[in-house]
A and B are shown apart, each in its own frame.
Chain A
Amino acid sequence: MANIVQFENVGLRYGTGPETLSDVSFTLRTGAFYFLTGPSGAGKTSLLKLLYLAKRPTRGVIRLFGEDAGALPRQRLPGFRRRIGVVFQDFRLVPHLSAYDNIALPLRVAGVSENDIEAPVREMLAWVGLSDRGRAKPPTLSGGEQQRIAIARAVIGRPEILVADEPTGNVDPDMAERLLHLFDSLNRLGTTVVVATHDFHLINRIPNAHMMRLEKGQVSDPTGSLRNPPGQA
């Protein structure tokens, strides 16, 4: 399998503060499933932001889909972002749009015609078990429902990479397991999945998944106990 993501000595600093990430190096293989763990404040969200191109590294090289993502001109970023699905920690659903319109958003951004939008959106609503909530607006949905809409929005465009930041943080254990199955089934279709989570119970549910641990802004495996740690760049 080819590498879809490669981090080489990547550092990230916000303003003039200390480095949030330092010398992070790893590779992610196409079609694999990765868990990113680590204590709060370790830099998991920052690493994911680099991955979904919300930030540029302050040093080092990030190769994404074979290209130097840090050196991409602004006008090429939208094309790359359309190949990445993101489930944000705080969902980031557009509050005045219905669940249906939130899920349809990536397709509309990509210029898909309205005639070709309805079927996949209905399919996604059914996939996340919310067929009857299509017209509901996010403020009227529970945390778990919002989470599922966010996941449906992230995967509707069949992204090559799915990045999820604590996607089960707001749902009960049953729902968390169902969501994980959604990610797993997407991964089986060939999507590379990266999930940041604290939940080791969930991690154990995907036995073949790789694990990556961040601590104080650095990839760490001090005891050598991580399961299938990602390769070093």
Chain B
Amino acid sequence: MRFQLNPNAADRRLLDESRRTRAMSWIMAIMVFLTVLAGALGLGMFAATAQLDRELAGRLTVQIVEPNPQLRDSQAAAVLAELRRMPGVTRAQEADRARLAELLKPWLGDAGLDPDLPMPAMIDVDMRGGDVAAVERAARRIAPGARVDRHAQWLSPVRTFMTTMTWLAVGLMLLIATATAAVVLLAARSGLDTHRDTIEVLHMLGSTDIQVARLFQRRIAFDTLVGGLAGTGAALALVWFLQSRMDALGSEMLSGVALQQRDWFLLLLLPLGFALLATVAARLAVLRALRRTL
């Protein structure tokens, strides 16, 4: 009775498996299903936050606010030329005025197309490792009324929300793992009650507590793994479906939520993690209960 990972048929028969219910596997399937969903949410949000950080960290808009159109245009051209010479600036491009007018049309109507409307000149800047303060100084030296807006600042509430969602997913996973451990404890105790007579006989024949615990932990780990794999399969199918729907939306922001190959692999490890958790919880529960017997 060595109770290895792949025990022989005789060891498998020691606990009456014909009476076993499938409830444990079903519960584990549901638990792992929810955990994989929470995990996918967390990983997706984490990836999206990272992408947002990458994309917004060096992105800014320089506004040249000058009512005189000729002066505004000359300042804009000078600022643009200066920015393109600066180290760390990978791209500097003035926003198309026609496009700006289009964007304002819902609020200003056709007035937005009026060339006399004092619209600021907008220069989009992408930087990699550059000094934003230096950009700000350069723009103000040429155009004292220039304003520099960092995109990261505009979207910080979005980033905060995404970070919150990531932590919420982590919290949910921990909560479900705790509930799973509790379910395993209850299942182990119920198993001990059901098999009390067999365990008593095993003890009288010289079985150690560890030998008895291994019988239960192997059985519970197997049920958890079977249920967990089913739950993971269903959850990953749902995540894949949702991801394909998001891809169809063509949203730049939602594209960051997409799971990478590494994320799928991590999610696939969850049933193994749950089986390990169940094994440890069952072992502790059984050993603790047996310690109260002679």
Residues on A facing B (Cβ under 8 Å): 52-56, 74-75, 77-82, 86, 92, 94-97, 101, 104-106, 108-111, 114, 153
Q: Is residue B117 contacting chain A, with contact meaning CB distance below 8 A?
A: no
Assess whether B13 is in contact with A96, with CB atoms less than 8 Å apart.
yes
B294 touches which of A74, A94, A106, A108 (Cβ 8 Å): A74
Give the A-B pair count, Cβ closer than 8 A: 63
Q: Which residues of B contact A153 (CB under 8 A)?
A: 205
Interface centre among A81, A92, A96, A106, by most chain B C-beta atoms within 10 angstroms, is A96
Q: Are A110 and B206 in contact (CB under 8 A)?
A: yes
Q: Point out the residue from A54, A86, A109 that lies within 8 Å of B207, measured CB to CB.
A: A109
Known: A92-B197, A94-B198, A97-B13. A111 touches B2 (CB 8 A): yes
Distance between B142 CB and nearest chain A CB, rounded to angstroms: 84
A-contact 0/1 string along B253-284, CB 8 Å cutoff: 00000000000000000000000000000000
Report, as a range, how many residues of chain B touch the other chain. Answer: 20 to 34
Query: In the complex, are the beta carbons of A114 and B197 less than 8 A apart?
Result: no
Q: Nearest chain B CB to A153's CB is how many angstroms away?
A: 8
Closest to B207 in A: A109
A114, B8: Cβ atoms under 8 Å? yes
Give the shortest distance, in Å, between B9 (CB) and chain A (any CB). Answer: 9
Cβ distance A81 to chain B, nearest Cβ, rounded Å:
4
Q: Is the beta-carbon distance between B204 and A101 smaller than 8 angstroms?
A: no
Q: Is A97's CB under 8 angstroms from B14's CB?
A: yes
Known contacts: A92-B197, A92-B200, A111-B2. The answer to whether A75 contacts B11 by CB under 8 A is no
Cβ–Cβ contact B206 & A106, under 8 A:
yes
Contact status B1-A79, CB under 8 Å: no
Tell me if B133 is interfacial: C-beta within 8 Å of chain A.
Answer: no
